[in-house]
Chain A
Amino acid sequence: MNNAVDEKHLISPFLIVPLMYVSMVGVGVLNFQRELAEHAGYNAYISVVIVGISIHLIVWMIYKILRSNPEGLDITAINHTYFGKIAGSIINFAIVLYFFFGAYIEFKAYIEVIQVWMFPSMKILPISTILMLLIYYTVSGGFRSVTGLSFLGFLMSLIFIIPENLPVLPYLHPQNLMPLFNHSASDILLSSKSMIYQFLGFEALLLFYPFIKSPAKSQKWAHLMVIFVTLLYLMIIIITFMYFSEGQLRQISWPTLNMLKIIEGPVFQRVEYLAISLWLLKNLSGISLSLWAACRGMKNVFRIKPRASLLAFLVGILILDYFLKDRSIYRWISEFYSDVGLYFIYGYIPIMFVVTQIRKMGRRIAIE
C-alpha cells in the first residue's frame, strides 16, 4: 500500500543511537527512583536489570517482525496484511493514539518540572505554544530533522547526566544498598512494572524502521543502546540509593534534580536550573519522535498528509494541556498509558512475533 521510502529521507544505521536514546530516556529519569523504590525498596536496582534484559528480547523480536516482510515496510503495513483492512486500521489507529499520548505525557511532565523548579507562576499557554512551534518545525522537516534534533538532545543530556554523579561521591553511603536481597520476588516484579514505563517509547522503531538505510546493520546499535540506557538507569538508581536514605527518598519528588542541588560551581551556584534548561532539547526530541511516529501512522492508515495530522496533534496537546488542569486526570492518563504500554510491549509485540514467524515458516514450506 505504500512505497518504499525515498533514498534521500533515509538515515544511516548508526543514527539509530540518538533515536533509541531519546525514546528510552524520558523525563522519568528525573524522578523514577522514588516510584521504583516503593515496592522493592533499595533492592529495586534489580528491577532495572530485569527490565533491561526483557527490552533486549523485545527489540530482537521487533527486528524479527519487521524483517519478516521482504518489502521492508513498517508495522502499519504488516497489521494491514495480517488483520485485514478494518481490524488492521483499528489497531493502527490505536498505535497512533498511543504515540500521541506518549508525546503529551512527556510534554506535560516537563512543564510540571519547569513549574515546580523554575517558574512557579509562569503562564503555561504562551510557553507551550512556542514549544509547539519548535516541534512543528522539527517534525514537518521530516524524519531526518527529527534525527538531527535527537542527536543534539542525546549529547546535551549526556553532558549533564554523567558528570552530575561526580560531585555527589563524598556523600555516598554504600551501606544503604545492604542487605542485598531482603525483598520478595513479587516486590521486585512490581517495581519492574514501574521501570518499564521509563523505557516506553522505543516502539517508535516499529514505524521508523523503513527509514534506516540497510536496517539489518542497525540492530547491533539498537541492542547497544538498550545496554547503554540500562546501564545509565542502573548507575543513576544506585547512586541515588547511596545518596539518599530510604526515608528521605520517600519524601523527594525529583531525586535526580535534588542530587544536583549539592553541586556548587564558581559561577553557577545552582546547577539544576541549567540542567532543566538543557533537558529541554532532549525532551523536545523525544516528543518530536513520538509525534513523527503518530503522523507517519496517520499517513499510512488514512492517507492524511503528515502536516495536517501534525497540526491536529499539536493543537490537541495544547488543548489537553490548557484544559486538563486537574492533576488527578493527568495522573490517570499517564497510568493508563503505562498500562497500555505494558500490554503493547509484552502482549502485542510477542503475538506479532509469533504470527509473523509462523507465517514465514508457512511460506517457506509452501515454497518447498
Chain B
Amino acid sequence: MNRRKIFLVIILCTVLSACTDQKIVNQICLVHAISFDTVAKGKKTAVLISHFKEQGKTDLEVLHTESKSYLSLPRLNTQTNDPLERGQMRMVLFGKTSAEKGIGTVIHHLLRDPKFSSRLQLGVVERDASELLEITTKTQEPFFLSDMIEQNMRNGNLPLMNLHVSLFNYYGEGRDMFLPYFKIGREGAAGSGGHGEVKIDGLALFRSDRMITEISLKDAFLLKMLIQNSKNGSYTVPLAGKASNNTNNQGEDFILLRSMHSKANYMVNNVHLIPSISIRLKLVTELQNVPDWVDVRSEEQLTRLEKTMGSYLKKEIEKFLSRLKENKVDPVGLGDLIRSRSKNWNAQDFEKIYQEIKTTVSVQVKIANTGSG
C-alpha cells in the first residue's frame, strides 16, 4: 500500500515536471505567416499575427521590421505585449527580389528549428511579400494563403509542395526547388471585396537558393504530370483544323481537359556519356469542355481527339523541358534520375551536360469520361 502511494507521487511529479516552459495560448502571440523582402536599406521582415477576441473572430495584424539580416523575430518582439511564437506558422513568403538574391539562410533556418511544421508552405510573391500579408488581414483568415495553396494542390494544377518537399528538393542533389508564385492584382480593384486580388500565378523555379524564372499554371500542370500523379489538374488544348461552323463562338475551339490519373515512366539510355531520357506519359482524362462540332459519341472522333491531345501535350512538354534546360533548372529531378541509374555520378559533372541531355517524350491520352453533354 505504502509502495503504491510512493509510486503515485512519483508519477504525479513526472507529470507536473512538464509544467515548466508553459505556453498558454492567451499569453502568446501566434505568428501565422512571415515574409521576407529586400529593401534599399537592408532586409525587411513582416509577420502576420492574430489577436483572438472571441470565438470565431480573429483580428489579424502585420508587424514590420527592417534590419541587416533576415530572421529578426526577436526584434519584432519589441512590438508586441505577448511573446511571439512560431509553432503555428503556416506560410513563409519571399519577395521576388529577395528570392532572386538567394534565400538559403532562411531555408537553412527552417530546417534547423524543430518548431516549424513540415507542412509549412513557402511561396514567392511577384512584388512585395509584406503587401500580400497586408491583403490577407482583410480576409480575417490566418491561414488564407496556405489553405489556398493546399486547395490548389488537391484540386488544381499545383504539384505537391510543402516545407519538407522543398527541403528535399533544395538539399537533394540533381533536383531543384520550386515554390508557388503569387501575383497581386490591381490595387483597389473596384468592388473586389478585398480578397479577389491575390492569386497563384504558377510556380517560381529555383537553381540552388536563387529564383531563376517563373512558369505559368499551365506549365505547372506539365510539371505536375512529370513528377507525380496529376489528378484533378486541368489543361486546355487548342483544337486547330476544322473552323467552327457556328460563328457565335469564334476562337473558342479548345478542349478543356481534367486529369483523372496520370503516370510518367522514365527510361535512361547511354548513362556514361551524355544520357538520353525517354519519357512515356499516360494520362487518363475527363473532357470538361469540347467545341460543339465534336461529336463525343463517335468513337472515331474520340480517338482522333486523344491523338491530337497527345501530340499537343508532347510538343508542350518538350518545349517546357527545353525551357528548363535553357534556364539550367531541374525541378523534374532529371539529375537525380540519372544518378539512380549510374554508379558514379556527381552534381558538378551533371550540371555541365544538363543542357545537352536529349529528352524524348511520348504522351498517351485516354478519354475516360466525356461529360454529360
Instruction: Report which A residues bind B (CB closer than 8 A).
Output: 116-123, 126-127, 130-131, 133-134, 137, 170-171, 173, 175-176, 178-179, 182, 244-248, 250-252, 257-258, 261-262, 264, 269-270, 272, 277, 280
Contact = CB atoms under 8 A, between A and B. Distances in A.
B114 A117 contact: yes
Contacts of A120: 21
Contacts of A257: 114
B114 A116 contact: yes
Residue with the highest number of chain A CB atoms closer than 10 Å, among B10, B169, B342: B10
B173 A245 contact: yes
A187 to B, nearest CB: 14
Contact of B14 (A130, A178, A258): A130
B129 to A, nearest CB: 24
B10 A244 contact: no
Given A117-B114, A270-B117, A247 B87 contact: no
A119 B340 contact: no
A264 B163 CA distance: 14
Which DSSP category, helix, strand, loop or mixed, fits chain A's interface? Answer: helix
B171 interface: yes
B119 A264 contact: yes
Contact of B343 (A131, A182, A261, A264): A182
21 contacts: A116-B114, A119-B20, A119-B21, A123-B20, A130-B17, A134-B11, A137-B7, A175-B337, A179-B341, A179-B342, A245-B171, A245-B172, A245-B173, A247-B171, A247-B173, A248-B111, A248-B168, A252-B111, A261-B117, A261-B118, A280-B14
A277 B117 CA distance: 18
List the 8 closest A-B pairs by CB distance, nearest first: A245-B172, A178-B340, A247-B171, A248-B171, A261-B118, A262-B118, A119-B21, A130-B13
A248 B170 CA distance: 8
Nearest to B168: A245
B175 interface: yes
A251 B171 contact: yes
Given A121-B21, A262-B118, A270-B87, A134 B172 contact: no
Contacts of B13: 130, 133
B20 A133 contact: no
A171 to B, nearest CB: 6
Contacts of A173: 168
Contact of B6 (A137, A179, A251): A137
B279 interface: no
Interface of B: 6-7, 10-11, 13-14, 17-18, 20-21, 87-88, 108, 111-112, 114, 117-119, 160, 164-165, 167-173, 175, 336-337, 339-344
A249 to B, nearest CB: 8
Contact of B173 (A123, A246, A258, A277): A246
Contacts, number: 90
A146 to B, nearest CB: 14
B172 A248 contact: yes
Nearest to A127: B17
A220 to B, nearest CB: 34
A182 B342 CA distance: 9
Contact of B164 (A117, A127, A171, A246): A171
Contacts of A251: 108, 111-112, 171
A133 B172 contact: no
Contacts of A250: 171
B171 A178 contact: no
Which DSSP category, helix, strand, loop or mixed, fits chain B's interface? Answer: helix
B11 to A, nearest CB: 8
Nearest to A262: B118
Contacts of B20: 119, 121-123
B117 A247 contact: no
A175 B336 contact: yes
A244 B14 contact: no
A162 B196 CA distance: 44
A118 B19 CA distance: 11
A120 B344 CA distance: 42
Nearest to B17: A127
A175 B21 contact: no
Given A178-B341, A247-B172, A251-B111, 13 more contacts: A121-B21, A122-B21, A130-B10, A137-B10, A171-B165, A245-B171, A246-B172, A246-B173, A248-B168, A251-B112, A251-B171, A262-B164, A264-B119
Contact of A175 (B10, B14, B18, B340): B340
Nearest to A258: B118
Contacts of A118: 21
A59 B114 CA distance: 38
A270 B7 CA distance: 30
A30 B88 CA distance: 24
Given A122-B21, A245-B168, A264-B117, A179 B173 contact: no
Contacts of B340: 175-176, 178-179
Nearest to B164: A262
Contacts of A175: 336-337, 340
Contacts of A258: 118
Contacts of A137: 6-7, 10
Contact of A245 (B7, B11, B112, B175): B175
Contacts of B14: 130-131, 134, 280
Nearest to B21: A119
B173 A182 contact: no
Contacts of A269: 88, 117
Given A116-B114, A251-B111, A133 B164 contact: no
B153 to A, nearest CB: 11
B231 to A, nearest CB: 12
Contacts of B11: 134
A178 B266 CA distance: 14
